[in-house]
Structure 1
Amino acid sequence: MDVLLVSVTPDLAEMRALLRSAGHRIVDEIVQRRDRPHPRTFVGRGKLEEVRARVARGDVQVVVFHGELRPTMHHHLERELGVECYDRLRVILELFAQRAQTREAQLQVEFALLRYEVPLLREWVHEADVGERPGFMAGGEQRVDAYYETVKRRIKKIRDELDAIRKERSLRRSVRKGRGYHLAALAGYANAGKSSLLNALTGERVRVEERMFSTLSTTTRAIEDAPRRVLLTDTVGLVDGIPFWMVEAFQATLEEIFEADLVLLLLDASDSEAEIRRKARLAARTLLPRIDADRVLPILSKADLLEEGTLEGKTRVLEDTEFRRQPLILSSETGIGLDDLREAVRLAFVQPLEVHLVLSQDPEGAARLHWLHENAEVVSAIHRPDRVEVVVRCRPRDLATVESSGRVVLRRDLSP
């Protein structure tokens, strides 16, 4: 569609990329510098008149506002301008809908779209003159009210289906860990090179596209030549400034990151220092409430695109963020840094301490054994009538918790 882009900031690079990826053509841009959007009209009255005049000139099917439109604002702007109005989140959801290929991805996107619609529907129900609204909501307040109830029922049905998918994923992770696999996950923003790295580490040929959010469904493969069995999962790209309900929609996918033993956080090395800092802090806000920082390995990807003399500054930026560690530098395209990454993955899963434990043969002992399977490497578990004899290997940071699981018979360090 032909769109008019309206913004209160001149920084439009991401929004332009989103619109292009969604298949829209930007016919014009109107920018008004403001500290924050106007609460009713997004831009000031004078600038809104400019927007209205541009729409009246023709070839504008949708006005896209670079920011968030609250329901009242959205309703008011559509009535004022006489065309459909989108905000940034609506464009992202449209993009997700285009990319969704699997049943799970389609459910997640539909859930997010419906949750996005609900506040808008409430606003239309609230308005006495909804019958004047053109398009799918035409027909009056009763018709919108009926649609609102249908949407709520559909949301409940999808939530139940997604909960079932989450439980199935959780079971799959437990089975993999029980079989001795370590789980690693790729995280990062759109076009950070996650799928390319998955291919480089696993020898697979997962489709790689230079477009935003090309990966909505997870892909899990074994890392080649790993001294231990390590499974690597590619996940949906992180998104700036999304509301809680959108996180809920993609919770089953995001849990592949939160439940991983190691998270490889990719940041595009060709971005500016300011952009790398911004993305790292937003990633920390998403990841660190759920996982420890020492489980996150920051990576500056696409090193082949680095401008000369910029590496040191960009490395320092990541050292100063919440992750507090020096990033690895790599390029999946040229192979730079891949050996260093393989070694870092190997070291992350080294479990040099072996503990022989005796657990009670009761529900409490079973719960502790389950924890050991999830968080350490259970070498053997022999079930006796009155006890369970367990041999566990773990990392130093987990030693105290492992030893508190039962009576310690033997502890030894297997480090070379």
Structure 2
Amino acid sequence: MTAFDGAGQNGERRCVVVSLRTDVSEITALVETLGFELLDTIMQKRDHPDPRTYVGRGKAEEVRDLVEELGADLVIVDDELKPSQVHNLQAGAGVDVFDRIRLILEIFTRRARSQEAKLQVELATLKHRVPFVKETINLLKKGEHPGLLGGGEVGTHQYLREIKQRMARIQRELDDVKRVRSVRRKHRTRHSFITVSVAGYTNAGKTSALNMLTEAGAEVDSRYFSTLSPLSRTVEGVESRVLINDTVGFIEDLPPWLIEAFESTLEEVYSADLIILVIDFSEALEVVERKVMTSLEIIKRRGEVPSILFLLNKVDLIFPSELRSKVSSLQDSGMILGPWIPVQLSVTRPKRREAMRTSIFHTILQNLEDIQLVEMELDADVDLFSLQIKMDEKNRNLLGLIRDRAIYLDISRREEGSVTFAIDRDYLNKIKNDIVSLKGISLNIVED
């Protein structure tokens, strides 16, 4: 029996969960995401994990007895385990043992679709495997026979070298991906594109936010980690140079090396002009606080943080008084320091959905640095398409001028006498007086 027996099995596994936490909802959701059958959960209250078996000798025997009684073939521990703890638990229980990290890696393996995601998952899996191989070498030196690789100590050393060589090759490939992404970002900057990254704890509603803003039609899945590869979309229905990115979901207690394995994907968050942090606000306050703290810790890994807009999802499931109370608590604790919007991303009625979409997007534009959102009102007898203004001793078509420089232009309400656009503040100051000098035109600056 080894730490890696059964890896990659697609059949349903019968498992027992062991946890020192009082809340096992997240580990249960992770198990369900893999389609494993959860037979029972053993919960233990102790100040510190046992260094040998994590749960102590008596509880380890209880785990063994329960595994035999229920016919389980897997024990899942809701924490990160040392290799020696995995070895000792497996030796006692007689079945595979996954820790929390191994379980998450199994989900990543099944969810990876793009070549980049597959490389990132493989790199993370190999990083996780290295200390277990080293533990096997130590056990072999002591004369124990953990069963990993039939070649004994020599074969295990060779396997470790192969893992490290493979990790180096994957890292080079991911560095190439990172360079390509960097070139794309520079290209977008040159063409005046603004990037907005949708981030948040896994299953908070990030993909629903992407669909709300862009009509992308991306698959929404209630299971954890439905998005591993970034999805990039522009805003539908308007002229826009705003690119919205959906990114991999966050989860607490991830070791730094696992986060680093997804560095090229997280670049889309770190380099964004604005981050939309989606929060499931229907959960209990302590759960919301824990998930927001985890998300902010990952976002702040690089030090300098882009502006953050907090999207409070599923507020239809709580009372307004609870919404206000939670926001106040998060503001007092310094977790919400920027603008926030309460939303119901699952809304399906077309008019309500479009109104919410417009409201969210206009709030995004208002919070982009150096960008000003403007509403231009036209009298009924004014023809938008024929408007001319004099600039630099030349007559210029107003709509063409705005189209050249705006990152967002919505003329869908022009028959109602309203046009909305977002443009660089310095450029707006340059042309504002020329625009308002036209008869039948007024500009309304949309403030934060």
TM-score by length of structure 2 reads: 0.76
How many Å apart are 1:412 and its aligned residue? 6.4
Matched letter for residue 332 of structure 1? L
1:347 aligns with 2:366: yes
Residue pairs, 1:397-412, within 5 angstroms: none
* Larger of the two Rg values belongs to structure: 2
Q: Contact conserved, 1:130 with 1:140, CA < 8 A, in 2?
A: no
Q: Contact conserved, 1:185 with 1:234, CA < 8 A, in 2?
A: yes
Runs of at least 5 residues in structure 1 that lack an aligned partner in the other structure: 354-377, 380-392, 397-410
Report the Cα distance in structure 1 between the residues aligned to 2:175 and 2:329, rounded to whole angstroms: 38
What secondary structure sits across from 2:222 in the alignment?
coil
What secondary structure sits across from 1:3 in the alignment?
strand
How many Å apart are 1:302 and its aligned residue? 2.3
How many Å apart are 1:38 and its aligned residue? 1.3
Identity of matched residues, %:
34
Q: Contact conserved, 2:61 with 2:92, CA < 8 A, in 1?
A: no
Match in the other structure for 1:14: 26
Match in the other structure for 1:268: 280
How much is the aligned-residue C-alpha RMSD, in angstroms?
2.4
What secondary structure sits across from 2:282 in the alignment?
coil
Deviates more, 1:299-308 or 1:339-348: 299-308
Change (3 A) 1:299 1:204: same
What secondary structure sits across from 2:167 in the alignment?
helix
Report the Cα distance in structure 2 between the residues aligned to 1:413 and 1:277, rounded to whole angstroms: 45
Report the Cα distance in structure 1 between the residues aligned to 2:134 and 2:36, rounded to whole angstroms: 28
Matched letter for residue 38 of structure 1? D
Report the Cα distance in structure 1 between the residues aligned to 2:246 and 2:106, rounded to whole angstroms: 22
What secondary structure sits across from 1:288 in the alignment?
helix
Report the Cα distance in structure 2 between the residues aligned to 1:37 and 1:241, rounded to whole angstroms: 15
Deviates more, 1:342-351 or 1:16-25: 342-351
Report the Cα distance in structure 1 between the residues aligned to 2:297 and 2:67, rounded to whole angstroms: 39
TM-score by length of structure 1 reads: 0.81
List per-residue Cα deviations over 1:203-234 (Å, max 9, x = no partner).
Answer: 22111111110101111000235675100000
Runs of at least 5 residues in structure 2 that lack an aligned partner in the other structure: 1-12, 348-352, 373-403, 406-422, 433-443
List per-residue Cα deviations over 1:107-138 (Å, max 9, x = no partner).
Answer: 1100000000001101101112677334x534
Change (3 A) 1:395 1:68: farther
Match in the other structure for 1:304: 316
1:218 aligns with 2:230: yes
Report the Cα distance in structure 2 between the residues aligned to 1:289 and 1:264, rounded to whole angstroms: 17
Matched letter for residue 330 of structure 1? V
Matched letter for residue 146 of structure 2? R
Matched letter for residue 146 of structure 1? Q
Match in the other structure for 2:77: 65
Match in the other structure for 1:290: 302
Match in the other structure for 1:333: 346
Report the Cα distance in structure 2 between the residues aligned to 1:54 and 1:194, rounded to whole angstroms: 39
List per-residue Cα deviations over 1:245-269 (Å, max 9, x = no partner).
Answer: 1111100100100000000000102
Change (3 A) 1:46 1:323: same
1:201 aligns with 2:219: no
How many Å apart are 1:395 and its aligned residue? 6.7
What secondary structure sits across from 1:67 in the alignment?
coil
What secondary structure sits across from 2:302 in the alignment?
coil
Report the Cα distance in structure 2 between the residues aligned to 1:190 and 1:133, rounded to whole angstroms: 36
List per-residue Cα deviations over 1:148-201 (Å, max 9, x = no partner).
Answer: 111111100000001100111111111011111000000011111111111111
Q: Contact conserved, 1:273 with 1:313, CA < 8 A, in 2?
A: no
Match in the other structure for 2:327: 315
Report the Cα distance in structure 1 between the residues aligned to 2:231 and 2:265, rounded to whole angstroms: 10
Q: Contact conserved, 1:8 with 1:36, CA < 8 A, in 2?
A: no
How many Å apart are 1:21 and its aligned residue? 0.3
1:180 aligns with 2:192: yes
1:99 to 111, 127, 138: 111
Deviates more, 1:271-280 or 1:300-309: 300-309
Q: Contact conserved, 2:33 with 2:224, CA < 8 A, in 1?
A: yes
1:86 to 76, 84, 98: 98
Report the Cα distance in structure 2 between the residues aligned to 1:306 and 1:55, rounded to whole angstroms: 40
Report the Cα distance in structure 2 between the residues aligned to 1:6 and 1:42, rounded to whole angstroms: 10
1:324 to 337, 352, 356: 337
Change (3 A) 1:37 1:337: farther
1:233 aligns with 2:238: no
Report the Cα distance in structure 2 between the residues aligned to 1:191 and 1:157, rounded to whole angstroms: 32
Report the Cα distance in structure 1 between the residues aligned to 2:281 and 2:324, rounded to whole angstroms: 11
Matched letter for residue 268 of structure 1? D
What secondary structure sits across from 2:275 in the alignment?
strand
Change (3 A) 1:343 1:349: same
What secondary structure sits across from 1:127 in the alignment?
helix
How many Å apart are 1:394 and its aligned residue? 6.2
Matched letter for residue 257 of structure 2? W
Match in the other structure for 1:406: none
